[in-house]
């Protein structure tokens, strides 16, 4: 388990438990909770399901039970502190720690400068094409594999730009990604990033009519929540994306990738709060 791909400490605990259970069918929540110093047999389960929160002191005990090294334990504890931060200062401090530790593990956040170049949707797709077993670094090949959505000239230029900003590399005519995973900077209202999302949403709309149902998945849910639930829901969405990245990475190490898919998540209010309407 690469915990640096997780944005939710609860998912880390859950994944550890599931992996331990797979190795030893007799491993139980009671045993896990006891390893963490709790006589209660379901403490770990309550953490996973969000029934109770961890504090940083208890998070350290969980880290020891999961046999994390010093660096991983620091990430886990900081993730707990970030999740339950009560002040902006505490949030900023722990966010920086989490961000720096992720970067140290090859999970890179895109800078604002790189956003300006990557505001067009196809840069991310071309970067993922490098993972395909038959990747060929020519504009013609890239354009053909992308169904002619961009020209050969655009594809060649994009490949050069990705190389120039350091998101891909070419060593002895061997092309590869500079780092396995990249993430946009959290909570930064980048104009280029907004432009990227708008263009991707347009592609999503087209996919409804152009892509067969058996090759796509569209889901939508309307959820009644409280304003206090928003930060945790955002973390859950990010954690889900991290889980998919980890799963896909593990799978394609066994069998080389053959296609590039796009996965998006949108989460936004459809109503205004009662306070703003003057009802409350």
pLDDT tens readout for residues 206-236? 999 999 999 999 999 999 999 888 888 888 8
Strands 174-177 and 168-171: antiparallel
Measure the CA–CA gap between 124 and 216, rounded to whole angstroms.
19
Residue 250 has pLDDT above 90, yes or no: no
CA quadruple 256, 217, 114, 194: dihedral, nearest 10: 180
C-alpha to C-alpha distances, 165 to 110, 112, 178, nearest whole angstrom: 10, 11, 10
What sign for the dihedral angle of Cα 63, 71, 235, 55? Answer: positive
Cβ burial, residue 142 (10 Å; 0-12/13-18/19+): buried
Measure the CA–CA gap between 5 and 3, rounded to whole angstroms.
5
Which run of H or of E encompasses 162?
A: helix 152-164
Which residue, among 122, 116, 131, has the nearest Cα to 200 in the 3D structure?
122
Range from 94-103, 139-148, 182-191 that averages highest in pLDDT: 139-148
pLDDT at 241: 84
pLDDT at 189: 44
244 forms beta bridges with: none
């Amino acid at each position: 388990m690469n915990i640096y791909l997780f944005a939710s400490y609860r998912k880390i605990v859950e994944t550890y438990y599931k992996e331990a259970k797979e190795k030893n069918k007799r491993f139980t929540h009671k045993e896990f909770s006891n390893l963490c110093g709790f006589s209660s047999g379901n403490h770990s389960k309550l953490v996973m399901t969000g029934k109770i929160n961890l504090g940083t002191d208890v998070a350290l005990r969980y880290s020891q039970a999961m046999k994390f090294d010093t660096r991983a334990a620091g990430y886990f504890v900081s993730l707990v502190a970030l999740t339950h931060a009560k002040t902006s200062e505490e949030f900023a401090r722990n966010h920086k720690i989490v961000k720096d530790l992720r970067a140290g593990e090859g999970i890179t956040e895109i800078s604002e400068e790189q956003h300006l170049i990557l505001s067009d949707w196809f840069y991310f797709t071309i970067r993922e094409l490098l993972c395909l077993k038959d990747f060929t670094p020519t504009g013609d090949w890239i354009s053909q594999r992308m169904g002619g959505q961009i020209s050969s000239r655009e594809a060649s230029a994009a490949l050069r730009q990705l190389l120039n900003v350091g998101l891909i590399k070419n060593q002895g005519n061997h092309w590869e990604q500079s780092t396995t995973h990249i993430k946009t900077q959290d909570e930064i209202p980048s104009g280029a990033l907004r432009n990227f999302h708008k263009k991707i949403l347009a592609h999503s709309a087209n996919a409804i009519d152009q892509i067969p149902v058996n090759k796509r998945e569209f889901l939508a849910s309307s959820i009644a929540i409280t304003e206090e639930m928003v930060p945790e829901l955002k973390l859950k969405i990010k954690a889900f994306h991290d889980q998919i990245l980890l799963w896909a990475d593990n799978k394609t190490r066994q069998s080389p990738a053959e296609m590039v898919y796009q996965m998006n998540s949108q989460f936004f209010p459809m109503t205004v709060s009662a306070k703003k309407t003057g009802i409350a």
